[in-house]
Amino acid sequence: MTVEPRDLAVQALYEADQRDLCNRNDDLPPKAARLVAGVLEHVRELDDEIDNASEHWRVQRMPVVDRAILRLGLYELRYETDTPAAVVVAEAVRLAKTFSTERSGAFVNGVLATLAEQERG
């Protein structure tokens, strides 16, 4: 069974969050390492945008997994523009359902759909 780069990226971002955003990407495949490095490089701006799009939840109060997924999704929307917005959102929802809760899927979908509209119109 092949593990998807986004799955590995979310796992690495979760770990990085738990260690105050210090992470080594040496053992990740190239795409996952690129995604993680990009999110970590832009984490403050991503968090600001997620805060603005999220109703009732500040980024720092979100479950760590949901926060990692939203950061990854917004990073892809903004900086990995070859990937269609619908794919980014669908993958983020899949990740939320896989690594978090069923309710997280709906939450991630709502926030990321708002961000997708802002980023890509």
CA dihedral 71, 52, 49, 115 (to 10 degrees): 70
How many structural domains are present in the chain?
A: 1
Predicted pLDDT at 17: 83
Average pLDDT rounded to a whole number, residues 75-103: 95
Predicted pLDDT at 20: 64
Indicate whether 95 pLDDT > 80: yes
Indicate whether 21 pLDDT > 60: no
Mean confidence (pLDDT) of the chain: 91
Nearest residue to 81 via CA among 111, 50, 109, 119: 119
Q: In CATH, what number is assigned to the domain containing residue 56?
A: 1.10.940.10
Task: Record the pTM.
Answer: 0.89
Pairwise CA distance, residues 59 & 50, whole Å: 7
Q: Would you state the structure tokens that stand for residue 98, as one six-digit string? A: 């896989």
Predicted pLDDT at 55: 83
Pairwise CA distance, residues 65 & 112, whole Å: 14
Question: 107: domain range?
Answer: 5-120
Pairwise CA distance, residues 109 & 93, whole Å: 6
Quickly state the pLDDT bin for 23 (edges 50, 70, 90).
low
